[in-house]
């Protein structure tokens, strides 16, 4: 009988990722994709054009690593493992005339980036861009929708110059322990609606020089027990042209009419109408991967290659940590118990 060696594919080929009609991303549970080669004239650019092809990754562990699924229509580079046409691998994606780079080149040759496209339908994107142009270095991040962070320990941020924050809707924050802030220059805060402050225990306010408060209509202080106003030199209460002044020279009371124990009633304020803050939502969380077990080696292929090369095969000791050994005669020569 004639011996016909299995054909080999020398080098790599380019192909186009395929999938069912209307589907932009087509893969299986292992992240494999299907492709159609340019020489394939019978393929219909659907999910039946090829077998599943594994996709190379820069890092791959058990539920951790990096993954980027080539999408339908992308041109990819296909390599055949050991030249075997039945073991194709996708090793990368290729830009070309129809699929342009994200930013014009060579004008933006100093940029390194990772930019995605919303699916299905497009119209949006997420992007991480690093600009290395001298004097214009920048790290740019764009989230098309949500951005969640989970930091299991400390976070430290240093800004060498200015910082600008703009929130288009509401902002929520929660500190489950103490909050410390130090401002070395002026602090200017403007609240264009109402301001509500609730302190669970005591509030201490120390001002180095003066405090000036102005209300357009009313200031109302209420205490359940007592109110003490202590001025070192002078205390003045003034309203409607009348006033009461206390200073080292004595007490001065001036008014059109002064009444003592002659009826009437004290004025009343509007009272407290405090609102509580809304608690923030938690960021989306994920789970850690698992320690990676050694990948299985295709022993049948390795043995065939060794036999074809007429290599000498030597048994190795198979003794386990518990002293068991599945070999009847172990090359180590020790008397091991049979498992």
Assess whether pLDDT exceeds 70 at residue 300: no
Assess whether pLDDT exceeds 60 at residue 336: no
Assess whether pLDDT exceeds 70 at residue 315: no
Residues 43-59: what's their mean pLDDT? 95
Residues 279-299: what's their mean pLDDT? 65
Residues 312-317: what's their mean pLDDT? 64
Token pair 């001002």 is found at 207
CA distance 186 to 163: 15
Model confidence pLDDT, tens digit, residues 225-260: 999 999 999 999 999 999 999 999 999 999 998 888
For residue 311, name the pLDDT band (cuts at 50, 70, 90): low
Name the percent of the chain lying above pLDDT 90: 73
CA-angle at 146, arms to 143 and 150, nearest 5°:
105
Which residues make Cβ contacts (< 8 Å) with residue 215, sequence separation at least 6?
A: none
The bridge status of strand 235-239 relative to strand 250-254 is: unpaired
Higher pLDDT, residue 175 or 264: 175
CA distance 31 to 48: 16
CA distance 323 to 105: 64
Torsional class of 264: left (φ above 0), alpha (ψ -120 to 50), beta (otherwise): left
For residue 40, name the pLDDT band (cuts at 50, 70, 90): very high
Assess whether pLDDT exceeds 50 at residue 338: no
Residue 246 host element (H or E): strand 242-247
Which residues make Cβ contacts (< 8 Å) with residue 254, sequence separation at least 6?
A: 242, 243, 244, 245
Model confidence pLDDT, tens digit, residues 72-126: 999 999 999 999 999 999 999 999 999 999 999 999 999 999 999 999 999 999 9
pLDDT on residue 313: 62
Q: What is the mean pLDDT of the chain?
A: 88
Say how many CA atoms lie within 13 Å of 105 toward its Cβ: 10
Return the CATH architecture of domain 1-99. Answer: Beta Barrel (2.40)
CA distance 112 to 273: 54
Among 61-65, 242-246, 285-289, 304-308, the minimum mean pLDDT is found in 285-289
Assess whether pLDDT exceeds 80 at residue 186: yes
For residue 303, name the pLDDT band (cuts at 50, 70, 90): low
Neighbours of 127 (CB within 10 A): 14
Higher pLDDT, residue 222 or 337: 222
Neighbours of 30 (CB within 10 A): 9
Q: What are the domain boundaries of the chain?
A: 1-99, 101-143, 312-339
pLDDT on residue 292: 59
For residue 339, name the pLDDT band (cuts at 50, 70, 90): very low
Residues 15-19: what's their mean pLDDT? 97
């Amino acid at each position: 009988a004639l011996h016909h060696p299995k054909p080999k594919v020398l080098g790599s080929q380019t192909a186009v990722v395929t999938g069912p009609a209307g589907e932009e991303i087509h893969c299986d549970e292992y992240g494999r994709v299907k492709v159609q080669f340019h020489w394939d004239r019978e393929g219909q650019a659907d999910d039946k054009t090829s077998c599943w092809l594994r996709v190379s990754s820069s890092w791959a562990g058990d539920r951790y690593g990096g993954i980027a699924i080539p999408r339908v229509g992308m041109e990819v580079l296909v390599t055949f493992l050991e030249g075997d046409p039945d073991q194709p691998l996708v090793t990368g994606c290729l830009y070309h005339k129809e699929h342009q780079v994200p930013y014009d080149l060579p004008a933006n040759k100093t940029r390194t980036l990772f930019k995605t496209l919303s699916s299905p339908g497009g119209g949006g994107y997420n992007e991480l861009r690093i600009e290395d142009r001298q004097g214009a270095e920048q790290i740019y991040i764009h989230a098309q929708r949500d951005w969640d962070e989970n930091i299991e320990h400390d976070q430290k941020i240093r800004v060498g110059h200015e910082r600008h924050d703009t929130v288009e809707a509401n902002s929520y924050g929660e500190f489950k322990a103490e909050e410390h802030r130090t401002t070395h220059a002026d602090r200017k805060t403007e609240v264009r609606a109402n301001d509500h402050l609730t302190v669970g225990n005591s509030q201490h306010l120390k001002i180095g020089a003066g405090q000036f408060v102005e209300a357009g209509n009313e200031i109302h202080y209420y205490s359940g027990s007592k109110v003490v106003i202590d001025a070192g030199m002078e205390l003045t209460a003034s309203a409607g042209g009348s006033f009461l002044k206390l200073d080292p020279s004595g007490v001065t009371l001036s008014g059109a009419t002064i009444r003592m124990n002659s009826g009437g009633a004290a004025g009343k304020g509007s009272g407290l109408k405090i609102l509580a803050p809304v608690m923030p939502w938690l960021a989306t969380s994920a789970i850690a991967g698992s320690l990676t077990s050694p990948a299985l080696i295709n022993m049948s292929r390795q043995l065939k290659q060794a036999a074809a090369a007429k290599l000498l095969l030597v048994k190795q000791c198979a003794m386990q940590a518990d002293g068991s050994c599945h070999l009847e005669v172990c090359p180590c020569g020790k008397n091991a118990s049979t498992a």
